[in-house]
Structure 1
């Protein structure tokens, strides 16, 4: 009953406190936004006033400059009409320019060709010489027309100039005057948004900017780094620039901000303030109210719940902490809470459960030790830290006592250890891994997962793997020569030929021992084996990385070379092999050394075949041709030797 009353009382107090906080927070936020809106409108009005005033002054300067251009152009026209002889005197022309304080003036004929003036480098240009000069083309058709061009880069140098042109009163040409618009440009700078925003002061964490509504480009800002950027670059969407709303929330430059927009002439003015700055006072006042309410709530809860049985809470807390330790794998922890009979019984049952769990692991360990099987069993739950394992597991993994204790205390470390073991798999074996150490050993890892529980077995299978490898060696290796036998040779060839793109050029070479029968008859079969071993050593030591060597039968050998760039390279290798044979000998059991001889034949891959049988067939035919040639040569030598002896006798 006390818990129900306290629970409901806490719910009512907390609900009232949260409701008050939310209402207060909403009002404070609304006031902060209204204050910013008012401040923004005042700022927009100030910027608009500065912009309008500077624009009027700039327009006035432009009109004054145009008027001066016309006046000075007419004055020059009058001088030249009154004193036509100065037209050919360049010094006089430049003197007139200085006298009338013009930067340059030009004389055009009635066809628009520039033939004289204060700047000789422009002579030869005409009204068709560029877009800037084409502005004055209409004057060639209307003698009453006088024109003044806006400030623009001139054709010859791209220099900003103000040009004005008038007809001479005698209609014999056009006078054009050019002034550098320094004053106008200075006035125009005052109308630039960058200058205006340099005069505007904004609060910390606040930014004022002007946006072109058509190009959506920031034209000016109190933050110079924003000028020239697209509004999307700073996180602002065009739909958010509403001048009718009182404000909008946006993420600008990765900062949560509140923005207000307004229209001024042809641009949209905006002001943004980071939410952290805007609501700083709101958060401070809210925290003060929250502190007051929390203090009041705590005081009320303390007085109301002072008669609650604190022993129950302490008992629950103690049991909870002990269970947390047990969950993390500390199975030696004992729960001993006896403040109430219920807690005493609960503590007893928890301790009994943990003892039963430990006893189960010990039983499994004893059973495995009794049957003398090199198997270790482990189990852990990912919600618990400790790993339960049988005693033989550490010995199988070659773990020292301290290392085993650390691994079993944390299942994450144990899993890392298993992952390390799994990184060294044995080829062509399933779930068999190498265990590095002073002597190489092999282990089998098996595991089963169900939800968060993992059950696994680690067995030492070194004897089985070593026996299997020995069987494979005896099955595939010729015991006399240490080379592959026929079956192993065919199997490896089939594996190679499955990937023809990796072979490039290849050669199948077959060799047959010469004079083996004579060696057996003269020196015995044991020395005949020495003779074959010498041939095998010569072939195995071929010096070619990519090759397979085998003894196919009693005196027949095969050697397949691959990954060669050309046939010529293979032919050179074969020739080198025969040259090496010329100096190769076999040592007999009596210490005598006899010459090693064999006949060989070869076939090229893929020209002569792309399978093992075909390549061996061609190589065999080639070898026996060489064998017959060798025998014929041997018989010829014997006949010559016999004839020589008979001649000596006669």
Structure 2
């Protein structure tokens, strides 16, 4: 009777404590989430309000600046018309530019070549070259003396410097007058009109993070937290985050549960989140204090009864403990049998049924996974076991036959070593993806504890192959298969920076001489084939000495490296131009041509010179070749 009384006392008191904690939890948690949702909504509204104000400011600044810059360009054209002598010296043009408060002043004649300029090094530049400069050709092609063009801020052709240019027609003389300014105010306003700028200066409470996600692509465009948080948000998916307008919990890839609130604004989903641990920090402290108080009451009551029931209860518990120890060592057929009281007999039967249920459930889950064809496998080892438990697909995922896998499972130390060997072959830029054979990859999650180790293995082959295909397509031109210009510059900069003292390298800039005429005369299909044939000859250059890329429409570049003498590089270029001249291209029925290209190159053994400077020098050499004698290359 005393044992029954003690047991029911503990049950009743524990139930009462649990009920109080559960009721307190739900009431307090609901209130806490509501207050946090109101805070998030207020701050998101503040972000939207700031963005709207910044957009109005940017529109106002752009309109005012466009009108102001056009006025200055017209004033410059007026001075040139009324006082042509101002064109006689760079100093006079420089003074006029200073008077008009512009950074650059250029004047051309009908041929589109800069004849007069406040920047001497720009004299001679042709408005037919470069995307930015070609934007002003409609002025030269128009007969109107009131023609003007206002360009958006962009890198200029000469130096890739961020500038805003305005051009107007000359009065009485065919040509154009152009002024250029560094758009400082506009660029600053554009910078303020980004979510990154707003988030960097936005006041947040401890643990709060804000993000903005593009609705079209599902990519995070701004974030106040770490880079890995952005990846987790993108992986979670736009559709799921859009459902958080009234606040909801979401579990990130790392297992962190966060409270998220979002709101759509234009083409962006703005959201705020806080991990659950931070949100409930004070909350759990209060719950813990309540729990400790109630627990103390229960402990006191139990201690008072402990003396009366100690011997009988402890004896039965010790026996159950010993039998459970046998079960944990792998003796799953062990039956727990403890008599002396109905309660212990029921408990013994319950434990036995539970063990059998766990064994049965484990078998069923393994069979279900095998039937579903999910590429997933798991393994587990406890220190008291003499084998490693595995699921059926592990051998297939690790490319291991049944006999070999059986030998490993019978030797836990060898199995652990085998897993570690697999995890040494890490895929570049992937933390938990490893090679599992030719064109095969697996993701391994592995944990070692004091009591043993366990892990899971999933097939990551399709994911990795898709990533590599995407990386290749992002870095290579779709039409020609050559490297894109940004990727070319990245790789060439790395090679230049690691140049040996006894090596030289060269930058070669190329331009197809007759491409525009071929494109206009025979159509884009022929033009595309002309580009592809040229690109194929570039691809035949030695890959261990050359990087090749398409810079723009008919402009290409080569970075030659790994040579010790310039004559080796010239020999390479001679063979390349010989290959061009021997390549016959069919244009139309009965019409053929050879590929004609002009090139300029520059050599160096100075790894500190910088790729940008080499490209500029090679560009200048190309310009001289096209100006003097097209169809060959010069240094």
The alignment's TM-score, normalised by the length of structure 1, stands at 0.45
The alignment's TM-score, normalised by the length of structure 2, stands at 0.46
Bigger radius of gyration among the two? 1
